Amino acid sequence: MKGKRIACIGTLDTKGEEIFFLKRLIEERGHHPFIIDIGILNPPFFSPDISREDVLKMVDIDIHSLIALQDEGKAIEWMTKGLIELVKKQYERGEIDGVIGIGGGQGSAICSFAMRQLPIGFPKLLVSTKVAQAGLRGYVGSKDIVIIPSVSDIAGLNRLTQKILANAASCIVGMVEYGVPVVEEKPLVIMSMLGTTTECGLMLKKFMEKDGYEVIVFHAIGVGGEAMEEFIHQGNVECVVELAVNEVGNELFGGLATAGPQRMEAAGELGIPQVITPGNADFINFLSFDTVPFHYQDRKIHRHNPQATTMRLNDKEMEILGKVIAEKLNKAKGKIKAIIPCKGFSAWDKEKGVFFDPQADRKFIQSLKYHLDKKVELKEVELHINSPNFAEILFNEFKILMKTESPRLSFGANKCPP
């Protein structure tokens, strides 16, 4: 097998011994490590393939001028920008087959920002001292970066760091060796979903796959929505189906599952057809109960598990959410079908459910209808979102939207009561 080129990134002034060890391990497997130095102050432990000066040249910065600033934050910022440009160019030119980085707090931040510019599926791995303390999201974002906590500090080679680095080397080598070509033959549908709309989502997915579509589902917990919006921009997507809009509510009302202010806008911007339903619109997400802000702790709260707490949105919040979603849909360039399940938006929002509140749901529906442009087709259905009949209605509307000639299904759509 022809050897692969693996970019190895780190600060060769502080992590040089470990990177040299990693380099040897990769070479022993018949591959070609490509060393990139992102150190700043002290001389490198050994000569890299791309020096720190070369990295900074990517953004027209002289390292001596940068050091003279005596500003650690600025140094990290410019080194990050330089590395991003370098790695992007290497990938675009086909010069690298995988990336591995080693870092403490600063090195991990620099490496991870560069890795996040690479597409999903491209091998990327980070050995870090910091992630176990700071959490994953700030380092992986919406990308598939493999993280190996270093456990001990990366401060020289010993029986523990050698084992960790050997595992890391084996991991990146395995990823670059085992690349499987993806055949993109089927038309692609992107779907958002959460556990409380899984019944509907899996049934709808089954219908679509049986009809010849490939369906990718994104878990709407913040990072899932971010990844979904990015993927829509990158992929050849035929249609987007929204069964989880809770990330929009999280952004509006301070929940922890926000996917940013542009959530639910990528498909509209690109003119991709959409099927929209207010799945999980009834709540926002937190982690453990102590992450719920004090001013919300007298609200209707559901502790789903020790690291998942949700809060029911009230009438006013649901009204605001309806307006904001309508504004997002109004900006869309493509066709949209908005299908509203009037008997509840999630597994918890049904009769005898912990978040059952028909009045609050009605506020959302009224607000959405009031602010929605006439160009957006809206249909109200007297069913719960997880009803099998509702999944069939969604599939039927999806087929109509995609302009196929499949016969209309037998389940009618009745208007919800005022």
pLDDT in the model for residue 408: 35
pLDDT in the model for residue 417: 52
Mean pLDDT, the chain, rounded, equals: 90
Query: Which amino acid would we find at residue 378?
Result: L
Q: Report the largest interatomic distance among the alpha carbons of the chain, rounded to a whole angstrom.
A: 74
Taking Cα atoms as reference points, which of 127, 114, 131 lies closest to residue 171? 127
Query: For the chain, how are helix, strand and coil distributed in percent, rounded to 5?
Result: 40, 20, 40
Q: What is the pLDDT of residues 394-403, one digit of tens each?
A: 999 999 999 8
Enumerate the H helices of 62-104 as residue ranges: 63-68, 72-92
Averaged pLDDT for residues 313-339: 97
pLDDT in the model for residue 275: 98
C-beta of residue 231 within 8 angstroms of C-beta of residue 190: yes
The residues near 19 (Cβ < 8 Å, ≥ 6 apart) are: 8, 10, 12, 35, 45, 102
C-beta of residue 153 within 8 angstroms of C-beta of residue 161: no
Q: What is the pLDDT of residues 249-264, one digit of tens each?
A: 999 999 999 999 999 9
Rg (the chain; Cα; Å): 25
∠ CA 80-84-86 to the nearest 5 degrees? Answer: 115
Burial 291-301 (b: 16+ CB within 10 A, else e): ebeeebeeebb
Comparison of pLDDT for 364 and 151, the residue scoring more: 364
H or E element, residue 36 = strand 32-37
Comparison of pLDDT for 416 and 60, the residue scoring more: 60
Percent pLDDT > 70 in the chain is 93
Say what the pTM is. Answer: 0.78
Q: Does the pLDDT value for residue 27 go beyond 70?
A: yes
- Residue carrying the six token digits 């150190």: 39
Q: Does the pLDDT value for residue 41 go beyond 80?
A: yes
Domain boundaries, the chain: 5-177, 188-401
C-beta of residue 250 within 8 angstroms of C-beta of residue 263: no
Q: What is the pLDDT of residues 119-150, one digit of tens each?
A: 888 999 999 886 655 566 666 777 888 888 88
5-177: CATH superfamily: Uncharacterised protein family UPF0261, NN domain (3.40.50.12020)
Equal CATH topology for 5-177 and 188-401: yes
What is each CA distance from 253 to 19, 245, 289, 301, 414, in whole angstroms?
Answer: 45, 13, 16, 14, 32
What confidence tier does 244 reach under pLDDT thresholds 50, 70, 90?
very high
Averaged pLDDT for residues 201-224: 94
Comparison of pLDDT for 108 and 132, the residue scoring more: 108
What confidence tier does 73 reach under pLDDT thresholds 50, 70, 90?
confident
**CA gap 19, 34 in Å, rounded:** 11
Q: What letter would DSSP give residue 93?
A: T
> What one-character-per-residue DSSP string does 150-169 give?
-SS--SS--HHHHHHHHHHH
What confidence tier does 307 reach under pLDDT thresholds 50, 70, 90?
confident
What confidence tier does 405 reach under pLDDT thresholds 50, 70, 90?
very low
Domain topology for 188-401: Rossmann fold (3.40.50)
